[in-house]
Structure 1
Amino acid sequence: MKKLLIYLFSIGLLFSSCEDAIDVSNPNNIEVRSFWQNEADAESGVNAIYNMFYKPGTYSRWIWFRFDLASDEGFSSSPWVELADWTRFVYNNYDFWEGNAWTYRDSYEAIFRANQVLHYVPGIEFTDQQQKDQLLGQAYFLRALYYYNLAILWGSENNSLSIMLELSKPGDAPEGHPVSDVWAQAESDLAQAINFLPAQWDDSNKGRATKGAAYALRAKCLMQQHKWELAAQDLEWLVTGDGAQYYDLVDNYKDNFTHFNENNVESVFEIQFSDIHKAPAGDDDFAIDPNLGLNRGQFFAPPGIGWTDGEVRPWLVAEYRNEQNLEGEYDIRLRESLFYEGMSDDFSGNNRIYGRGMEVWNQDNYRGRVFTRKYATDYYRDFDDYHSPVNVRLIRYADVLLMYAECLANIPAGNLTDAVALVDEVRARVNMPALEVNHLAATQSKEAFLKRLQTERALELNFEGHRWADLRRWGLMTSQEGVTELAQRDPDFNNFVLGRHNCLPVPSSEVNNNDNLEQNPNY
């Protein structure tokens, strides 16, 4: 089902394969001078970049602590105090591996792998130039994705981030750059990706980056800089332009979070996970047969099922309950997004948590708490682990529609009616009434619409890795008024220091070993 993964099973340091293991004593020792020779090497090199999705520092595990738990949607009450501190803006050790340095390191490792492809592949002779271009396009897209993450998490006006475009070597001390330069580089990479990538892949290559994914990611970069008109032009390609034929909302909201209907019409870019390798889940960077499963469920699952290192702020439940659908029932997204006390009263048949009954809410370690259901495996088994096969829909069409609506509302000449219609389209999929029914003011002024959109994005996209970027883009972390609002939903923001905590500290080891890098402001 996930044919992209078959390319990853024989991955070594340079991700080469051999037909006979007897001929090569250790495939990890393949040298650069004997690699990058042919089309197969080029494809293996690109697959090596995709393989970074399965590293604990990125989308397999720790990045969700930064994007979801540090936002106002989530938090941690983990007994691992330092881990929990990093979701409540208490940063004592900037080199804390699981909270900061691992994700930073893995982001630059992914960029290094992309740089290898972009350095060596142009010199490889291909029989099909289009195949070569598509490999290069994927490398440009993936490099831009990691620069996007670096900018969102560590970007500031200081010269705190390196921009690596060539092969690095020991002893390098790259120049530091402000976040504006990182955005410019990501945009440049995505322009190349848009030129090279196909609009669609065949079934054997599902999961690879497409032209639509590159447009959507560039729009995200542009929106963070408030370049609304340019972002709208990119999103238009997916919504009403040439790409519109490939995208739509699926009828069933839950289909975005199971392994039964993956790579569907709503998916713009999707990370392929699999439980095919169920060996011990170690964190070995160079495993020949790496764990290709999503680890997130093991860390976010309720007590007795997972570690429960991440949970949900209760305001989300209250927000869902603020209005009912066209049949007088609660928003189905509440059922499919969260485990919470009272869940069986709100929805018929919603009375199981990984096979356990509602009596769990009588336990002290459950009472009053809320847990995320998205990307959980409760819908088909009674446990979660380090080997979830559920793909992460990193960019989906509902997100695109809401981003496009935000852009239209922010363009001086934008049409508010069109922006409202886009939000209504997302609401209609889950049988919720049009905005004018319960939120009339949001249909009459751009200011009210944009404020309501902040809630609409939370209802549709909570715990999907978007909220931290949203908070930065909306400026809620750059004024005391905004931080006070966030603290009302998430008390961790009472620890938030203006001018400091809107970005992470660069790991101390990076700054101390490179005189060309600056630490982020006020750290």
Structure 2
Amino acid sequence: MKKYIIILSVVTLLGSCSEGFLDKDPHEFTDAVFWKTAAQAESALAGVYTPLQDEEALGGEEWCGMEAFSDIGYMNDNYSDFIAMSEFRAVQNTENDLSLNSYKSYYKVIKRANDVLAHVPGISMDEAQKKRILGEANFLLAFAYFNEVVRYGGVPLYDPNNVESSLVRATEEQIWAAIEASLVQATSQLAYEHEEGRPGLGAAWGLLAKVYAYEKKWTECKNAAEQVINSGKHVLYPVYSDLFTLEHDNESENLWVLGARLGEYPITSILYLPNNVWGGTHEEELGAGWRLVSATNSFYDSYQPLDKRKAATVAKRDVDKVTYNGSTDLLKAPNNQSAVVCIKYMQPYAAAYTSWSPGLSIPALRYADVLLIHAEAMMNLNGGGPDKRTVGVAAAAASLNLVRSRAGLAAINAPTFNDLMYERKMELAFEGGGRHFDLVRWGLAAEVYNNLPAEGTYKPKRTFVPATHRLLPFPQQEIDNSNGSLKQNAGYH
């Protein structure tokens, strides 16, 4: 399919400017030099997307690694500090590159989005184009803050007019309020029709519904989700497994996908693939991956019978066949400790695995997620919820059963919160750590994690202490650079 690469060439956008000017990041220029034309506004907006496409952000190592915090995955590679965090035994945040680099990448997005919002309104240009640019900047600003607050809690609220504010952590409530404000603004600026790789109005309403769910604002959550549902612009794609292929990664189910750079980033496929697919018996083995994160046996065994998502998400050594570079055979993956591999992003016929990435876009927000968020809101508004997990709620059935039906599962007339937990676990597995963040926001992480037995040495027995482990340790380098103005999260030092 035709790929829309979101990172536009600064050379193309700025035309006749000097070569030295072109080599600079547009966000480094002063007002007197930059922020004069529509082309410069588009260039600056493209720069907001850039950090998300790097190895450290969406679809990169930390994004994949967050699955190790949950009950569905674990880390194979030797990121000792990050592994200690995922096993809830870290009390001191040393130089954890995965966490630090992710934090910095999202903060680049925050800074650059603020630049766009501060300067583009003053540019003389087509008003519809300006409105879209500001809408995308507001969405990306909210998206970056969302990823920061669920990991670290209160973070600095960047103010371009008061840089000193970046040295003080805002409260979590202040961050959530800022996210809400940006998304509400984006809903008045974006349209449902949008180019691939850019968020549209569906993405703005969808993320806002998700934000309200984290804040337990269930009426607002329901209403925001219904903006997407009732628009008629988004539907579930019939075949779950196809959503994660090069041919179908821009279906209408994807409210927003992060555009890929062929051979560069995101590198999700490589990170999940084992570094030996066939056990050395196939020539195609040369293009295998890093096995950074793999699936647990308990997750593999937890699928309900007939759930089609299992074959599209995981495969087990010497049990399941997989297609890789056009060849189909039993999975070997001899170096995987659990024998279970995440195959969600494996491209069966992509020959580009000899490079960093086959060019697969990352599903940052899907319609299925919004449907399940809507079902969750209906449960909480009608007598169900995480503290009433066995209460059936008929009002949640319509949205939840759309997701179940595609998975090949029977409809449930009055689904319970336990049913919702299952659907979110299986539907959104290996999509950026959503399972862990769900369990934390539901207040169920300690119950689920602490009752899990050890699974080999790769997934030891863990003790989750909510007061500490609901958040990651704040990056120590950022604390040091602030001369102590930024404080560490409770329970870490």
The TM tier, using the shorter chain, reads: 0.7 to 0.9
Q: Hey, what's the Cα distance between the residues in 2 that align with 1:64 and 1:368?
A: 21
Shift of 1:374: 1.3
Secondary structure of the structure 2 residue equivalent to 1:177 = coil
Q: Hey, what's the Cα distance between the residues in 2 that align with 1:391 and 1:358?
A: 26
Q: Hey, what's the Cα distance between the residues in 1 that align with 2:93 and 2:138?
A: 30
Shift of 1:93: 5.7
Secondary structure of the structure 2 residue equivalent to 1:393 = strand
Is 2:385 the partner of 1:419?
Answer: no
Is 2:478 the partner of 1:521?
Answer: no
Q: Is the 8 A contact 2:141 2:182 kept in 1?
A: yes
Output the amino acid matched with 2:317: E
Q: Hey, what's the Cα distance between the residues in 1 that align with 2:162 and 2:96?
A: 22
Query: Which of 249, 260, 283 is the matching residue for 1:273?
Result: 260
Is 2:67 the partner of 1:46?
Answer: no
Deviates more, 1:66-75 or 1:397-406: 66-75
Secondary structure of the structure 1 residue equivalent to 2:364 = strand
Shift of 1:493: 5.9
Q: Is the 8 A contact 1:355 1:382 kept in 2?
A: no
Q: Is the 8 A contact 1:84 1:309 kept in 2?
A: no
Shift of 1:59: 1.0
Q: Hey, what's the Cα distance between the residues in 2 that align with 1:274 and 1:40?
A: 22
- 1:315 aligned partner: 298
- 2:152 aligned partner: 154
- 2:157 aligned partner: 163
Shift of 1:272: 1.0
Secondary structure of the structure 2 residue equivalent to 1:270 = strand
Q: Hey, what's the Cα distance between the residues in 2 that align with 1:497 and 1:508?
A: 21
Q: Is the 8 A contact 2:95 2:476 kept in 1?
A: no
Output the amino acid matched with 2:417: L
Query: Which of 400, 407, 414 is the matching residue for 2:377?
Result: 407
Shift of 1:343: 4.1
1:247-396 matches, within 5 Å, as 247-275=234-262, 278=263, 291=264, 293-304=265-276, 305-320=288-303, 322-324=304-306, 331-341=307-317, 343-344=319-320, 350-353=321-324, 358=329, 361=332, 364-366=334-336, 368-381=338-351, 383=353, 385-396=355-366
Is 2:477 the partner of 1:509?
Answer: yes
Output the amino acid matched with 1:392: I
Is 2:1 the partner of 1:35?
Answer: no
Shift of 1:357: 6.3
Output the amino acid matched with 1:274: R
Q: Hey, what's the Cα distance between the residues in 2 that align with 1:360 and 1:267?
A: 29
Shift of 1:213: 0.5
Q: Deviations over 1:9-39 (max 9, x none)?
A: 525xxx8854468x42462346323111111
Query: Which of 194, 206, 213 is the matching residue for 1:223?
Result: 213
Is 2:176 the partner of 1:178?
Answer: no
Query: Which of 109, 130, 137 is the matching residue for 1:132?
Result: 130
- 1:432 aligned partner: 409
Secondary structure of the structure 2 residue equivalent to 1:494 = coil
Q: Hey, what's the Cα distance between the residues in 2 that align with 1:97 and 1:319?
A: 32
Q: Hey, what's the Cα distance between the residues in 1 that align with 2:39 and 2:218?
A: 41
> TM-score normalised to the size of structure 2?
0.86
Shift of 1:502: 1.2
Q: Deviations over 1:440-459 (max 9, x none)?
A: xxx37xxxx11221111112
- 1:193 aligned partner: 186
Change (3 A) 1:82 1:358: farther
User: Unaligned regions of 5+ residues in structure 2, if any?
Assistant: 277-287, 385-391
Shift of 1:132: 1.0
Shift of 1:488: 7.1
Query: Which of 191, 197, 201 is the matching residue for 1:207?
Result: 197
Query: Which of 418, 424, 427 is the matching residue for 1:460?
Result: 427
Q: Hey, what's the Cα distance between the residues in 2 that align with 1:493 and 1:162?
A: 34
Secondary structure of the structure 1 residue equivalent to 2:365 = strand
Shift of 1:481: 3.2
Q: Hey, what's the Cα distance between the residues in 1 that align with 2:23 and 2:121?
A: 24
Query: Which of 223, 234, 246 is the matching residue for 2:224?
Result: 234
Change (3 A) 1:492 1:498: farther
Q: Hey, what's the Cα distance between the residues in 1 that align with 2:355 and 2:8?
A: 20
Question: Structure 1 stretches (4+) deviating beyond 6 angstroms?
Answer: none
Shift of 1:147: 0.5
Secondary structure of the structure 2 residue equivalent to 1:517 = coil
Shift of 1:65: 3.6
Q: Deviations over 1:106-162 (max 9, x none)?
A: 111110000110111111112x2222111111101000000000111111xxxx410
Q: Deviations over 1:246-283 (max 9, x none)?
A: 111111112210110232121111111131xx4xxxxx
Shift of 1:224: 0.7
Deviates more, 1:380-389 or 1:31-40: 380-389
Deviates more, 1:137-146 or 1:378-387: 378-387
- 1:281 aligned partner: none
Secondary structure of the structure 1 residue equivalent to 2:57 = coil
Q: Hey, what's the Cα distance between the residues in 1 that align with 2:2 and 2:302?
A: 36
- 1:285 aligned partner: none
Q: Is the 8 A contact 1:405 1:419 kept in 2?
A: yes
Shift of 1:60: 3.9
Q: Is the 8 A contact 1:247 1:268 kept in 2?
A: yes
Secondary structure of the structure 2 residue equivalent to 1:78 = coil
Output the amino acid matched with 1:318: D
Q: Hey, what's the Cα distance between the residues in 1 that align with 2:397 and 2:295?
A: 28
Change (3 A) 1:96 1:496: farther
Shift of 1:73: 1.5
Is 2:466 the partner of 1:472?
Answer: no
Q: Deviations over 1:186-213 (max 9, x none)?
A: 0000010001111212xxx222111111
- 2:76 aligned partner: 77
Instruction: Provide the aligned C-alpha RMSD in A.
Output: 2.7
Query: Which of 21, 24, 29 is the matching residue for 2:19?
Result: 24
Deviates more, 1:212-221 or 1:75-84: 75-84
Q: Deviations over 1:385-430 (max 9, x none)?
A: 5223111111111111111101100014789223123222111113
Q: Hey, what's the Cα distance between the residues in 2 that align with 1:394 and 1:371?
A: 21
Q: Hey, what's the Cα distance between the residues in 2 that align with 1:382 and 1:495?
A: 41
Q: Is the 8 A contact 1:4 1:206 kept in 2?
A: yes
Deviates more, 1:507-516 or 1:188-197: 507-516
Q: Hey, what's the Cα distance between the residues in 2 that align with 1:59 and 1:336?
A: 21
- 2:285 aligned partner: none
- 1:328 aligned partner: none
Shift of 1:501: 1.3
> How many corresponding residue pairs?
466
